[in-house]
Structure 1
Amino acid sequence: TQWLPRANTRTVRSIQGRPIDRLPVELQAMNQLPPIPPATGFTHRVRISRDYYVRLDRNDYSVHPSMIGRLVDFTLTLDRVIGVCDQQIVADHPRCWAKHQVITDPEHVQVASTLRSAFNKIRRTASTGGLQDPVVASRELSEYDKIFGLEGQDFIGDEQ
């Protein structure tokens, strides 16, 4: 508050006058702000790996697991980390300024568990040929004696 009145009364050689005298001219020359604010902060495009986390600025942030394998655009502002894919927000976290932290949305964990269960069920079904309980043929041991021609022979420990 003490500096501004003093600064406005000084003549500045580069603008050929006092700043207070130039203010109306500067305000007249200013353009109107655009209707959409410009993007601020850092932006990154990342392909989401199988663990549905992305490392941004030394921290790991969770992303909706349905985005695994897809490219997601991230914007890091001073207070938020926002991930967008196909004009949908798929990650929204408070920005963490600490190092080596893992920030997880509980909804992402729940969805990942559901997707993992469905995938494992499909995999189990495919590995058994579509049958839930495979049928295995079984025989009496005496059948093997007949096959190998050992029927009726006396073995140690047999009682006849």
Structure 2
Amino acid sequence: MDVTERIGELAMDAGIRVAAAESLTGGQVCTALGATPGASDWFAGGVVAYTIETKNLVLGVHLDIDPCSAECARTMAAGVRDALEVDAAVATTGVGGPDPQDGHAPGTVFIGWARGSHVGAREFSFEGDDPEQIVEASTRAALEMLAEILDGMSEDEDR
């Protein structure tokens, strides 16, 4: 079973809906989730917010927040969770390269998550010769993180 099928199974078993907010990955997370069989039962959708202005307008990210930061990733995840009224969400932001941006090296990525009222983020440092490699690694990491938080939700219910 691949990670998107696992996400679907976990979401269906818990009776919840999920969403994604993307910057760096430009819709790749949503594409993967939406292509999963049965996604219409658990995937609410997502927001691609590439600029800080769009992140602010749609997801509530303050204009003075570093777009390549844990704070931005957490705010994006909470913003899409609230906007789409879902139980869990994941968000991606960072520098795809090939050049550094605002003092951050290419491959510096933050993936945020929101689960109920809880939010968090994790920093990643991906290697790659071109932005496509960074986007692919970031998409995979975001999907794995979503599966991880959904698995955590089912464990919480078991207690």
Please indicate the TM-score interval, normalised by the length of the shorter structure: under 0.3
- Max radius of gyration: which structure? 1
TM (norm. structure 2) is: 0.22
Higher-RCO chain (CA-CA 8 Å, sequence separation at least 6): 2
Answer 1 or 2: which has greater helix percent. 2
